[in-house]
Amino acid sequence: MRVEIIKNYLIIIFYLFVISCSVQPEPEEMTKIYDAESHDRFIAILDDEGVTYRVNEHGQIHYPISERSKIKAAKESIWGLSDETKKGAVVNEKVASKISKKLSDNKIPFKISHEEGTSTITWNAKYDKSAMQIVSDVIREAEK
């Protein structure tokens, strides 16, 4: 009986591990703040607000798109109203070509740059809803 319980427990742990390894991260956006004082203030605001982020070796601050409203509020608290003419996402290079193709197929103009296994795709804000739907759909499809 005890051996059976341990066996079932190990099977559950194994499946949880497999499931956790197969989950792809949420699409990210990125910002870079060149002024050291503003950068430090921005990071302090993100920490206070509980925003999930990472800073790479180039000083770029990457954050999940779900945190977009908190990021906007943090920027506005430092610099006032922000320019909302450009939007975009940082994605894994493996899905970037599929996203690029779908954006082109849907006649959404965009720019793409690649760095360290990720791709930054940007577009005009007027296309944001459609473009982000494409990004989400492609990532969701890649997870299958």
Report the distance separating Cα 110 and Cα 134, nearest Å. 13
**pLDDT tens digits, residue range 103-140?**
999 999 999 988 877 888 989 989 999 999 999 899 88
**pLDDT tens digits, residue range 73-92?**
898 888 776 666 888 888 88
Q: Identify the pLDDT of residue 6.
A: 67
pLDDT at residue 56 is higher than 60: yes
The CA-based angle 77-63-135, given to 5 degrees, is 120
Q: Do domains 25-82 and 85-144 have the same CATH topology?
A: yes
- Cα–Cα distances (Å) from 8 to 4, 13, 18, 75, in that order, read 6, 9, 15, 50
Q: Which CATH number is correct for 85-144, 1.10.357.10, 3.40.50.980, 3.30.420.40, 3.30.70.120?
A: 3.30.70.120
Question: The tokens 């921005």 sit on which residue?
Answer: 42
Q: Identify the pLDDT of residue 28.
A: 86
pLDDT at residue 41 is higher than 60: yes
Report the distance separating Cα 110 and Cα 133, nearest Å. 14
Domain ranges for the chain = 25-82, 85-144
Q: What's the whole-model pTM score?
A: 0.49
Which carries the bigger pLDDT value, residue 90 or residue 100?
100
pLDDT mean across residues, the chain:
83
Q: Identify the pLDDT of residue 94.
A: 85
Nearest CA-CA partner of 119 in 97, 140, 86: 97
| CATH number for the segment(s) 25-82 | 3.30.70
Q: Identify the pLDDT of residue 3.
A: 66
pLDDT at residue 142 is higher than 60: yes
Report the distance separating Cα 142 and Cα 21, nearest Å. 14
Inter-residue contact 92 to 117 (CB < 8 Å): yes
